[in-house]
Amino acid sequence: MLKNYLKIAFRNLLRHKGYSFINIAGLAVGIACCTFILLFVQDELSFEKNHRKAKNIYRLTITVDNSGTLEKAGITSPAIAPQLKQDFPEVKQFVRFLSTGNQSLIRYHDKALYEANGYFVDSTLFQVFDYPLVAGNPKTALNEPNSIILSQELAQKYFGTEDPMGKIIELETQSANTLKVTGILAEIPRTTQVRPDFLVPMRLVGGGFLSQWFAYGLASYILVNDHFNAAAFEQKLPDFTKKYQPHSPGNPPPPSLHLQPLLDIHLNANYGGQIAPVSDIKNVYLFSALALFIILLACINFMNLATARSQNRSKEVGVRKVIGASRSQLIRQFLSESLILSGLALVLAIAIVYLALNLFNQLSGKYIQINFLSNPSLWLGLLSLTFFAGIVAGLYPAFYLSGFRPVQVLKGRFGGSTNGATLRKGLVVLQFAISIAMIVGTAVVYNQMQYVQNKRLGFDQDQMLVVNIPGNLDFKKSRTLKEELLQLPEVKQATLTSSIPADENWWRTPMHPMGKGNSKENSIIGFVLPTDFDFAKTFGLELKAGRFLNKSFITDTARAIMLNEAAVAGFGWQKPEDALGQRISYGGNDSIGSVVVGVLKDFNFQSLHQKVEPLIFSASSSRASFLVVKVQGADLPATLAKLEQKWNAFDAKHPFDFTFMNDRLQSQYQAEIRLGRIFAVFAGLAIFIACLGLFGLASFTTEQRTKEIGIRKVLGASVSNIMVMLSRDFVRLVLAANLIAWPIAWYGMSQWLQDFEYRTPISWWIFGIAAAAALLIALVTISVHSLKAAVSNPVTALRSE
């Protein structure tokens, strides 16, 4: 019996090659899309699982009460983790990560380059995490105080074919260190959050930092035993905090301490202070829903195409029933045809996945490699998906076709029920509703990205070069370089600063007006920007009250500050003028304070995901991390060459390392830009699949109305009359789909926009464009059948009557 089913199934496939191809292509595209999404979700959910002890590793986090708003951060003070190991036997080991910063320079012989992905770590690293070495001993590699472990890429960059083990290199961060290469990291899986290029011992961090209880800035992880109870352990942490971080009267309470499982870190974007990029669980939910919608579209498309050909197979069903075939046998036959189609679609889908994998990696920012032989879960997922698609897509047509009455169909009285017609139309409405919602989503993402790229941020960002200043460079020497650059006609302005917009390393600290006490009620948490006197002028900041910091005023070098409007509002003053002359204490310096001499208009120094926070500008005479140069003139390459020439004359030991401010700002939205591109591609594919479904329904409707069309033409109907008549119902279906899609799309994209503090409104024209695009695509799809029916010979249509 099965052999007979297969023979008939293949015979029907070959007899109707065009429809078979459309069916297989639609399902193949749907399965391929779902495969890509399955790979994406699998990749997102597999982060940190390469560490054998992952389930026993927790990150220490803090929660800060900032004027009633609870803020979470994945950083702690350096003294906490060692003390936890000492006080609690369930804590078996700890390890801490501290970034070496963006100005980490590695020098070997005449090669000197800045490297931004390095970390100070404890020698216990390899006891907690699995970072395999291809050279060196993990038990001793970080024991020597002047040791360094390099990635294979970095070793190749500096040593080429030379054996790097035991070689001496120089690392400059805040100071210069001569280090010996004691290990080479094996390739780290891309599903690891922290993928360092180099590692150096934590003991190299000086200044008593490692004994600090109130200096926050590093990531701390603990390894616990197998019987560890996280909830019970967290209940002990408030007493631990009280013991080692006592709350002094007049000061804000210390942050509360919490645990976060290692496996939860990558998909939790609610924490600040991340030492490496993370993702968001919402993306997993979004793409999973997208996969469900697309496979649903493909199945609906299959149903409509199958029922569209039902009249051609009605007599076959009648004959089979007359000679004794039961309805269950017919259902099995049609389901077997559906499963064969989905199996062929799977083969085509796998080919599509292989061919388009590089494109998908570019769109998603992933580095997914497919090896079906070593990934049984992927095989299981694909086979399950294919079986599901085959059964779901074939179930309705099987019951529909097997329900024909043999006497009627053999007499040529073929006709579908009203319920069947309603269901088919409803499926097309659902298809287009999903497609239109995706078009709206794509447009909203694009519109928001255009908004963030073009919004005036409150400062000048064009033609701005950001030059990295070596960490151990004297501030006076940096100032000399700045003055020399200002002599060039191509340099309009320049400033030395510790932080810049789009930089993550801002100094954040409690601050309060003098005389009110540093209590929780009077204190706010804000940012402090130590800079020179030309920052506001170089960035084109607007003064709202008072004056700019000025080196002509002796007091401005130590005891004068400027505030932004957010700080004024945070301190409770009604207008900028109220802040002038007030004394503000910050950074623990409660006894002296600094006088407010000016208030600047708010500007977005963080990404548009965050609101503008309180900011203090202070004059710095210690060190700078960046030299920001505002250039002018049309010949930018020549200007850069002059700047590099000046730099080399000034400091030949360090490379001229710069970026453009615009590029730094754009890098803050790479995840959203990738999301928009993926949405656009899948929206296009969803429209393609929906059009196949509409094509099927148009074919079905045209076949059923062939005689009606013939009669109308005999009575004088023109081609345009016939086309309008056939298109009218489909236009109504697309308009109904819009009414369903609009509120769903509006709600979903409103939720997505909540991640941005500054966002564009969802404009009405987005829905109008989506409706017009869907309607145009539908009309083009329908016109293939309607035009063919309209120009056909009415004699042919009426001959069978």
Higher pLDDT, 676 or 579: 579
Overall residue count recorded for the chain in this entry:
801
* pLDDT classification of 681: cutoffs 50, 70, 90: confident
- State the angle between helix axes of 327-364 and 281-308 in degrees (0 to 180), rounded to the nearest 10: 140
CA atoms within a 13 Å half-sphere pointing along the CA-CB vector of 438: 30
Q: Mean pLDDT, to the nearest integer, of 38-56?
A: 92
**Once rounded to an integer, what is the mean pLDDT over residues 556-578?**
89
- Here the tokens at position 640 are 């850069």
Structural contact between residues 92 and 14, judged by C-beta atoms closer than 8 angstroms: no
Asked whether 214 and 245 are in contact (CB, 8 A), the reply is yes
Which residues on adjacent β-strands are paired with residue 97? 121, 219
Tokens 């803090």 belong to residue? 62
What is d(CA 283, CA 27) in angstroms, rounded to the nearest whole number? 24
**Residue 516 per-residue DSSP state:** S
Q: Is the pLDDT of residue 480 over 80?
A: yes
Give residue-wise pLDDT tens across range 28-40. Answer: 888 898 889 888 9
Average pLDDT on 547-557 reads 84
Mean pLDDT of 620-640: 86
Beta strand pairing call for 583-586 and 594-600: antiparallel
Asked whether residue 365 carries a pLDDT value surpassing 90, the answer given is no
pLDDT score recorded for residue 795: 64
CA distance 210 to 201: 12
- Judged against a pLDDT cut of 60, whether residue 712 lies above it is answered with yes
Q: Determine the Cα–Cα distance for residues 17 and 13; give it in Å rounded to an integer.
A: 6
SS3 72: strand
Half-sphere exposure of 531 (CA within 13 A, CB side): 30
Which pTM does this prediction carry?
0.83
Residue bearing the bigger pLDDT, 572 or 317: 572
Q: How confident is the model at residue 382 (pLDDT cuts 50, 70, 90)?
A: confident
pLDDT at position 516 is 59
Amino acid at 739: L
pLDDT band at 445 (very low <50, low <70, confident <90, very high): confident
Mutual orientation of helices 376-402 and 310-322 as an angle, nearest 10°? 70
Q: pLDDT at position 153, please? A: 94
Residue 9 has pLDDT above 70, yes or no: no
pLDDT at 705 (0 to 100): 74
Tell me what pLDDT residue 774 has: 86
- Minimum mean pLDDT range among 15-19, 170-174, 218-222, 442-446: 15-19
User: Which of the residue ranges 301-305, 321-325, 334-338, 510-514 has the most confident prediction, judged by mean pLDDT?
Assistant: 510-514
C-alpha to C-alpha distance for 108 and 584, rounded to whole angstroms: 46
Determine the longest span between alpha carbons in the chain, in angstroms. Answer: 108
| pLDDT recorded at residue 489 | 92
In order, the DSSP letters of 467-479 are EEPPTT--HHHHH
In percent, the amount of the chain with pLDDT more than 70 equals 88
Question: What is the rounded distance in angstroms from the CA atom of residue 75 to the CA atom of residue 93?
Answer: 18
| 3-state helix/strand/coil string of 223-282 | EECCCCCHHHHHHHHHHHHHHHCCCCCCCCCCCEEEEEEHHHCCCCCCEECCCCCCCCHH
Q: What is the pLDDT of residue 417?
A: 54
Least confidently predicted of 133-147, 377-391, 617-631, 748-762: 377-391
- Tell me the chain's radius of gyration from C-alpha atoms: 34
Q: List b or e across 342-361, with b for residues whose CB sees 16 or more CB atoms inside 10 angstroms.
A: bebbbebbbebbeebbeebe
pLDDT tens-digit map of 598-613: 999 999 988 888 889 8
User: Please, what is the average pLDDT of the chain?
Assistant: 84
Query: Which pLDDT belongs to residue 455?
Result: 84
- pLDDT at 56 > cutoff 90: yes
Average pLDDT (442-469) is 88
The pLDDT score that the predictor gives to residue 2 is: 61
> For residue 137, what pLDDT is reported?
93
Q: Which of 258-267, 314-323, 385-394 has the highest mean pLDDT?
A: 258-267
Most confident of 18-22, 283-287, 352-356, 653-657: 352-356
Between these two residues, 797 and 44, which has the higher pLDDT value?
44
With cut-offs at 50, 70 and 90, classify the pLDDT of residue 651: confident
Lowest mean pLDDT among 16-30, 225-239, 392-406: 392-406
Alpha-carbon torsion, ordered 120, 123, 124, 129, to 10 deg: 60
Query: What are the Cα distances from residue 4, in Å, to 9, 325, 398, 774?
Result: 8, 13, 17, 42
